[in-house]
Amino acid sequence: MSRNVAASVLRRALLYVPSSSPKFLEKSRGLKVDSIAYDLEDSVTLENKQMARKNIVDFLSGERPKDVGEIAVRINSVSSGLALQDLTEVLKSQHLDTLVIPKVNSPSDLHFINDILRHSLPSRHPSTPSNSSNPVKILALIESARSIINLTSICQASPYLHGLIFAAEDFSLDLNITRTPSLDEFAYARSHIATCARAFNLPSTIDLVCTSYRGNEGQARLEEESLQGKGLGFNGKQCIHPSQVDIVQKAFAPGEGEVEWSVRVVIADKKAEKKGKGAWTLDNKMIDAPVTGKAREVLKKAELCGFNTEAMMEKWKDQEPE
């Protein structure tokens, strides 16, 4: 399945907000965050499911939160028998951008969602040619050994699929393992998720929740986990409290030094190309096609994150290849 990665996708932080709480729903209007997933699953008890559906439908019928980049809803899993009821309600909202699907263990879980979306919202299929359309997107939660084994086929199971999310706590339960501060027990699963997402051109790989975040020690732990995930190839992280958002979004954004270096590389590369140089040096470091390609990707993300790359380009306009 071919797929174009949307250049405008930014999901550094994906914040869960329980749909069972009108107070938290209303508070979310004032948040500034890349993505909010309004939750109908784990944070909502069985007896409150219908109330939570009504809450989120009523909430999304109002004004769209102005500083929230993406509005998602985490529905209940297909295996729970509650997904159809969730979708019947939440697909009514024009503000809905994305569905977060939990416990995706095999392609059949996404096939079920595909069929409903095709029949309910044909105008929002990714292949529908329309400048004004906003295709529905899916983020799949990877939570079990079975989902890891089936990940290659899951990545090809839906034209709506836009990314993978690693659910470490459920994964720990499934494998009967204990989460440790090093997170070494998740090394294979996390690497496999990041690699498969890249192999199938999915824009987002969203890492595990940091469960300790209060106080200076918790914030330091959150930053450490975020940078570790970034180093593994993830480009975002799940958040369970608004206080986590700024730390996570800063960690998954390019640093100012990285952006400035990328500006210099891109400017010098244009000049090197005119001189017929395929490889050259900058600050005594070899620069070739993979390095310049990475620099261009950094600048694309930097612009999305609010960096003034034009000003940096002007500052370094005289940069020459060495």
Known binding-site residue numbers for Mg(2+): 143, 170
Any domain includes 8: no
Same-domain check for residues 172 and 305: no
pLDDT over 90 at 128, yes or no: no
Whole domain around residue 277: which residue ranges? 256-315
Last residue of a domain, one of 251, 272, 287: 251
Whether residue 281 sits in one domain with residue 235 = no
Total count of domains within the chain: 2
User: Residues 239, 260: one domain?
Assistant: no
Task: Identify whether 175 is part of a domain.
Answer: yes
Same domain, 183 and 285: no
Nearest-angstrom CA–CA distance, 35 and 13: 6
Do 110 and 38 belong to one domain?
yes
Instruction: Tell me what the mean pLDDT of segment 28-47 comes to.
Output: 97
More confident residue, 94 or 206: 206
State how far the Cα of 259 lies from the Cα of 312, in Å rounded to an integer.
9
CA distance 211 to 16: 13
Tokens of 191: 């690497």
Name residues whose C-beta falls within 8 Å of residue 194's C-beta, 6 or more positions apart in sequence.
205, 232, 233, 234
**Structure confidence at residue 155 as a pLDDT band (50, 70, 90):** very high
Domain end (from 203, 236, 251):
251
Strand partners, 161: 138
5 within some domain: no
| Cα–Cα distance list, 232 to 187, 260, 290 (Å) | 9, 23, 18
Shared-domain flag, residues 189 and 59: yes
Residues 170 and 106 in one domain: yes
Q: CB neighbours (10 Å) of residue 2?
A: 6
What is the distance between the alpha carbons of residues 60 and 28, in angstroms, rounded to a whole number? Answer: 12
Kindly state whether residues 277 and 174 are assigned to the same domain.
no
The CATH code of the domain that includes 102 is 3.20.20.60
Give residue 2's pLDDT band: very low, low, confident or very high (50, 70, 90). Answer: very low
Whether 95 is in a domain gets the answer yes
Q: Are residues 74 and 182 in the same domain?
A: yes
pLDDT over 90, % of the chain: 92
Q: Are residues 171 and 229 in the same domain?
A: yes
In a domain, 2, yes or no: no
Residue 3 lies in a domain: no
Asked if the structure places residue 322 within a domain, the reply is no
Of the three residues 251, 285, 303, the one that is the final residue of a domain is: 251
The yes-or-no verdict on residue 131 having pLDDT over 70 is no
Contact 253, 301 (CB under 8 A): yes
Examine the domain organization and report whether 190 and 269 are in the same domain: no
4: confidence class by pLDDT, cuts 50, 70, 90: very low
Provide the pLDDT for residue 213: 81
Q: Is residue 245 part of a domain?
A: yes
If you average pLDDT over every residue of the chain, what do you get?
94
Binding-site annotation: residue ranges: 74, 143, 170
234 and 273 both lie in a single domain: no
Query: Can you tell me the distance from the alpha carbon of 105 to that of 90, in angstroms, rounded to the nearest whole number?
Result: 23
Question: What is the SS3 assignment for 147-169?
Answer: HHHCHHHHCCCCCCEEEEEECHH
Average pLDDT over residues 52-81: 96
